[in-house]
Chains A and B, each alone.
Chain A
Amino acid sequence: MAVLTRIGGPVGPKEYEQALMRVYDLLAFNFRVITRQRVRSIMLLIAIAIGVLAINLLTGIGEGGKQFVLGEFNLLGKNVLIMLPGKKETTGGIPPLTGETTRDLTLQDAQAILRLAEVSAVAPLIPGKIEISHGRLSREAFTLGSNRAFFEMRQLDIAQGSILPDVPMDQAVAVCIIGSKLRRELFGNRPALGQWLRAGDSRFRVVGILKDRGQGLGLDMNDVIIIPVASAQSLFNTEGLFRIFIELRNLHDLDKSRDRITDLLKNRHDGEEDVTLIAQDSLLTAFADILDTMTLTVAGIAAISMLVAGILIMNVSLIAVSQRTREIGLLKALGLPARTVRIIFLSEAAMMATAGAIIGLLISELALFLARRVYPAVLFDTPNWAQVGSFIVAIVTALVFSAIPARRAANMAPVDALLDKKADQA
C-alpha cells in the first residue's frame, strides 16, 4: 500500500540540484526570526538606527552651517573679482615708514577695465550714509552708488519698477531704487514708484523697489537706497570708488585675467601697483575646505557609533547562533549546505541593518525638517554622500561583525548541533 511514499507530482531529487534558497523565501525566513526575537531585533535596530541617525544628523547640520556661511559670501558670482584701492600687504612685518599715497580708484579706471576683452561687466561702488526724506518723514539710510551691472552681480531682484537705467557710469541721473523696508517707512501704504525723495541736497525719483531679502554680509539690503554712481560722487563729494566689482567672461584664465587687470591699473597709476584684487572664489574655496573638513570630521566621529553598533551586532549574533544551535543542526540534517547557513545569518544581519538604516534616515530627515522650520535661514540638509555612505557603512558593519557568528553557525558539525543539550526542545 504505497500510500505515502512517492507522493508523485513534478518534484524529484534531480530538480533540487540548484539547491539555493529563493531570495523571497530567504527574506521571509529571516523575517520570521527577526519578528520572533523581538527584544534582540529592536535592540539591533536601535543601535544601527542611532549610528545612521548620528551620521546623517551631524553632516546635515554641518552642511547646513556650511551653506549658510557660504551663502553669506556667495552673493557675488564665482567669476566676479573685487578691486579695492591700496595695496594690502600680506607679508606681515612693519609697513614702510614713508607710507604710500594711495591713489583713488576712479570711474575712468572702471571704464578702462570694462574695455578689456575678458571683462563682461564692471560695477563701481560708493557707499555712504545720508539723510533721506519724503514729505515730513526722514531717516538716515545706507546709500549705494553704483550702476546697472551691480544688480545682476549681487543678484538683487526688483519687486516693482526697474533697476538703474543703462547710462554711462559718469552720467548722473536723478533716480533711485529703494529697499522694501525703506519704502514701508517712508511711504507706508501709499505708492512709492514715481515719487521723489530728498537725499542730502539732491532729489531722486523712485523708479524701483527691491525684492525682500535678508541680510548679506551684515548689510540689510531691505534698508538701502541705490543711486547712480555719478550721483553718489557728487552727493558724497568724492571722486574715489570704494570698490570695483569686475565680472569676467569665463573662469578659465582667471590668473591671466587678474594679471591683465593689475597691469592695466599699474599703467594707469604711473607704474605703481596700488590696488588689491580679490578673487572671491579663492576665499570661498578656503572657507568651503575648512567647513567640509569639519563636516567630515563630525561624520567620522558619528561613524564611531556605528562601530559600537557593530560590536553589539556581533555579541547579539553570537548569542543567537548559540540559541539556534539545534535549529542549525536541523537545517543541516535537512541537507542545507554550510554556505547557505552562512548566507542565512549574513542576510539576516543585512536585513536588520537595512531596516535600522531606514529608520535612522527617516528620523534624521524628520529632525532636519523640524530644524529648518525653526531656523529657516539655515538649510539643514544631509548631503547625498552621507546618506548613501551611512547606509553602506551600516550594512558593511552588520556584515563584517556578523561574519564570525555566521561562520561559527556554518561550521557546526550537524550531529553536535542537533544534540545540543543546552537549548530547549522545540
Chain B
Amino acid sequence: MIELQQLCRDFLIGDQTVHALDHLDLTIDSGEYLSVMGPSGSGKSTLLNMLGLLDRPSSGEYLLNTQVTSSLKEEQRAALRRDHIGFVFQSYHLLPRLTARENVELPLVLAGVAPKIRQATVDELLRRLDLSDRAAHNPSQLSGGQRQRVAIGRAIIMEPDLLLADEPTGNLDSKSGLEVMALLEELNAGGITLLVVTHDEEMGARAQRRLHMVDGRINQDWRPGRTERI
C-alpha cells in the first residue's frame, strides 16, 4: 500500500523554482497495475523516483506499507529499496562487465546471500525468464528484449512488492516491447504492484489504472468503469 500526501518536489533551475511534483495526493493499493502518462517534464519520472525512494520530497509525506519514509535515514531507505522495490529502466542499466547471469544475481551478491542459495535462485529465475542459454553472455551480446528481461530478472530477484518501470519498452521494437509488457503483467498477476511510466499510448492503455500528469499534478486518474478528473 502506497500513500502520497501533498507531496512536492521542487527543483531550482537557475533562479527559478520548478514544481516537478505539486502537492500530489495518490493512493495505490497492493497488486495494482498503473500506467503514468503525460508530456515530458510533467513529473512522471520524478514521481517514479519518489516512489522508488531514490529522491526525497521537498515537502509532503510518502507512506510505504504504512511506514512514514520522510524521517528515514539514507541507510534505511536503501534497505527498503533492497527488500521492497524493483526498478526497470529504459536503458536497462546492466553492468557491462558482468554476464547476464551475474547481472541478475547482483542484488543477492550485494545483500551478502550465500553463493549456494544464490545459485539455485538465479538458475530458477533464468529458466523462467527463458534466458538460461544466454546466461554466460555479456549484455553487449544480447538483444534489447533480452537485456530488458535480464534487467527485469534483476529487479524481481529480491521479491519486491513494488515494481517501478520507467519507459521499459522505450528502446525496444514493438515485438520485444510487447513481450516485455507481457512479462511485467505476468508479474503483476502474481501479486506485485506494477507502475509503468510510458509515452506510448498503446502500452499505457494496457494498465488497469491510468494516471495522466501535467505540470507536476495528476490531471486524470482513470480506472475501469470510472474516470476521475482532479
B54-A414 in contact (CB<8A): yes
Question: Which of A5-13, A158-166, A234-242, A294-302 lines the interface with chain B?
Answer: A5-13
Q: Which residues of A contact B156 (CB under 8 A)?
A: 4-5, 7
Complexed CA–CA distance, A17 and B181 (Å): 32
Which residues of A in the span 1-24 have a Cβ within 8 Å of any Cβ on B? Answer: 1-7, 9-13, 15-16, 18-22
B55-A426 in contact (CB<8A): no
| A286 lies within 8 A of chain B by Cβ | no
Interface 0/1 of B138-172, CB less than 8 Å to A: 01000000000000001011110000000000000
Q: Which residues of B contact A330 (CB under 8 A)?
A: 93, 95
Interface 0/1 of A363-404, CB less than 8 Å to B: 000000000000000000000000000000000000000000
Question: Which of B110-118, B196-204, B213-221, B222-230 lines the interface with chain A?
Answer: B110-118
A336-B109 in contact (CB<8A): no
| A333 lies within 8 A of chain B by Cβ | yes
Which residues of B in the span 1-42 have a Cβ within 8 Å of any Cβ on A? Answer: none
> A4 with B128: in contact, given A426-B96, A426-B139 (CB under 8 Å)?
yes
| A326 lies within 8 A of chain B by Cβ | yes
| A338 lies within 8 A of chain B by Cβ | yes
Q: Which residues of A contact B96 (CB under 8 A)?
A: 426
A21-B112 in contact (CB<8A): yes
B82-A21 in contact (CB<8A): no
A10-B74 in contact (CB<8A): no
> A327 with B54: in contact, given A1-B190, A7-B124, A21-B110 (CB under 8 Å)?
no
Q: Which residues of A contact B89 (CB under 8 A)?
A: 418
**Number of A residues whose C-beta is below 8 Å from B?**
44
Query: Which of A1, A32, A334 is in CB contact (< 8 Å) with B110?
Result: A334
Q: Which residues of A contact B158 (CB under 8 A)?
A: 11, 13, 16, 335
B112-A20 in contact (CB<8A): yes
Q: Which residues of B contact A332 (CB under 8 A)?
A: 54, 78, 81
**Number of B residues whose C-beta is below 8 Å from A?**
54
Query: Which of B92, B109, B129, B183 is in CB contact (< 8 Å) with A29?
Result: B109
Query: Which of A7, A36, A337 is in CB contact (< 8 Å) with B79?
Result: A337
A327-B124 in contact (CB<8A): no
Q: Which residues of A contact B91 (CB under 8 A)?
A: 425-426
Residue of B nearest to A424 (CB): B96
Complexed CA–CA distance, A269 and B75 (Å): 88
Q: Which residues of B contact A32 (CB under 8 A)?
A: 97-98
B124-A5 in contact (CB<8A): no
A33-B97 in contact (CB<8A): yes
Nearest CB on B from A255, distance (A): 65
B110-A335 in contact (CB<8A): yes
Complexed CA–CA distance, A29 and B158 (Å): 19
| B106 lies within 8 A of chain A by Cβ | yes
Q: Which residues of B contact A4 (CB under 8 A)?
A: 125, 128-129, 156, 183, 186-187, 190
Residue of B nearest to A24 (CB): B115
Q: Which residues of B contact A115 (CB under 8 A)?
A: none
| B60 lies within 8 A of chain A by Cβ | no
Complexed CA–CA distance, A32 and B99 (Å): 11
Nearest CB on B from A335, distance (A): 2
| B132 lies within 8 A of chain A by Cβ | no
| B87 lies within 8 A of chain A by Cβ | yes
Query: Which of A3, A36, A339, A418 is in CB contact (< 8 Å) with B97?
Result: A36
Complexed CA–CA distance, A270 and B228 (Å): 127
Complexed CA–CA distance, A329 and B78 (Å): 12
Complexed CA–CA distance, A9 and B113 (Å): 13
| A305 lies within 8 A of chain B by Cβ | no
A337-B113 in contact (CB<8A): no
| B49 lies within 8 A of chain A by Cβ | yes
A6-B117 in contact (CB<8A): no
Query: Which of A1, A7, A329, A335 is in CB contact (< 8 Å) with B121?
Result: A7
Q: Which residues of B contact A336 (CB under 8 A)?
A: 78, 82, 110
| A331 lies within 8 A of chain B by Cβ | yes
| B100 lies within 8 A of chain A by Cβ | no
> A11 with B110: in contact, given A3-B186, A32-B98, A335-B79 (CB under 8 Å)?
no
User: What is B's interface to A at a CB cutoff of 8 Å?
Assistant: 49, 52, 54-55, 74-75, 78-85, 87, 89, 91-98, 106-115, 117, 120-121, 124-125, 128-129, 139, 154, 156-159, 183, 186-187, 189-192
List the 7 closest A-B pairs by CB distance, nearest first: A335-B82, A5-B190, A2-B190, A13-B83, A16-B111, A415-B54, A335-B81
User: What is A's interface to B at a CB cutoff of 8 Å?
Assistant: 1-7, 9-13, 15-16, 18-22, 25, 29, 32-33, 36, 326-327, 329-340, 413-415, 418, 425-426
Pairs A–B under 8 Å by Cβ, sample size 28? A4-B125, A4-B128, A5-B187, A6-B159, A9-B124, A11-B117, A18-B111, A22-B112, A25-B109, A33-B97, A332-B54, A333-B52, A334-B81, A334-B82, A334-B87, A334-B106, A335-B83, A335-B85, A335-B111, A335-B158, A337-B74, A337-B75, A337-B78, A338-B74, A413-B54, A415-B54, A426-B93, A426-B95
If A327-B95, A335-B82 are given as contacts, then 6 extra A-B residue pairs at C-beta distance below 8 Å, sorted by A number, are A1-B189, A11-B158, A22-B112, A25-B112, A333-B87, A335-B85
